[in-house]
C-alpha cells in the first residue's frame, strides 16, 4: 500500500492539542456551577469509545491509506490537524454550556488530552513518561504489527475487550 502524505502535519498542528485540550477542559470546569465527577467520568468514557470507533471504523477502513503513514513511521507528525480539531472542540463548548453539560464536556476533553498525550509518549521510548506507559505501549505495538487488525484503543483496551478485537501483547496472528 502506498503511503499518503495527506495527513503530514507541522509541529504546531501536531502539538497544539497539548495546549488547547487542557485549556478547554479548564474553561468547561470553570463554567460549571458545580463540577460533577460522574459527568467528567462519563465524558471521558464516551471519548474512549469514540477514539476506538474512529480508529477502527474510520482510520482503518475509510482513511486506511492516509492512516497507514502513521503505521510506517509512528513517531512522525501524522494525523488530523490540532488546529481544526481545536476549533471544532471549542465550538462544541457552547452547546454543552447551554445544556448544562460542562462537566461532561470537561471529561470528554480530558479523555482527548489523555489520548493525545499517551499516543505521543508510547511512540517515543526515550520520553521520560514512557516507563509509566509501557503496558499501554506494548498493547498498542500489537496494533502496529502488519496484518493484525486488533487493539484499536490507545488509552484503554476496554472497547477492544468488549468488541472482541483485543490481542494480548506477544500473541501472533
Q: What confidence score (pLDDT) does residue 161 get?
A: 94
∠ Cα 27 28 29 (to 5°): 90
Q: Which of 96, 77, 81 is nearest to 24 (CA)?
A: 96
CA distances from 97 to 84, 100, 141, 144 (A): 21, 5, 38, 38
Is the pLDDT confidence value at 123 over 70? yes
Helix, strand and coil percent figures for the chain, each rounded to 5? 65, 0, 35
Is the pLDDT confidence value at 34 over 80? yes
Assess contact for 100 and 93: CB atoms under 8 A: no
Q: What confidence score (pLDDT) does residue 6 get?
A: 65
Per-residue pLDDT tens for 61-75? 766 555 555 556 666
Is the pLDDT confidence value at 170 over 70? no
**Chain-centroid distance, C-alpha 144:** 15
Q: pTM for this structure?
A: 0.89
Amino acid at each position: 500500500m502506498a503511503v499518503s502524505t495527506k495527513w503530514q502535519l507541522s509541529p504546531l498542528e501536531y502539538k497544539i492539542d497539548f495546549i488547547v485540550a487542557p485549556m478547554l477542559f479548564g474553561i468547561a470546569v470553570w463554567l460549571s456551577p458545580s463540577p460533577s465527577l460522574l459527568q467528567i467520568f462519563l465524558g471521558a468514557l464516551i471519548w474512549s469509545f469514540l477514539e476506538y470507533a474512529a480508529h477502527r471504523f474510520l482510520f482503518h477502513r475509510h482513511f486506511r491509506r492516509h492512516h497507514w503513514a502513521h503505521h510506517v513511521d509512528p513517531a512522525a507528525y501524522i494525523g488530523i490537524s490540532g488546529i481544526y480539531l481545536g476549533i471544532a472542540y471549542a465550538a462544541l463548548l457552547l452547546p454543552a454550556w447551554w445544556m448544562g453539560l460542562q462537566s461532561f464536556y470537561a471529561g470528554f476533553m480530558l479523555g482527548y488530552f489523555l489520548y493525545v498525550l499517551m499516543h505521543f509518549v508510547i511512540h517515543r521510548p526515550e520520553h521520560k513518561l514512557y516507563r509509566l506507559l509501557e503496558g499501554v505501549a506494548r498493547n498498542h505495538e500489537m496494533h502496529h504489527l502488519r496484518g493484525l487488525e486488533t487493539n484499536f484503543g490507545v488509552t484503554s483496551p476496554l472497547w477492544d475487550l468488549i468488541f472482541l478485537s483485543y490481542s494480548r501483547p506477544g500473541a501472533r496472528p
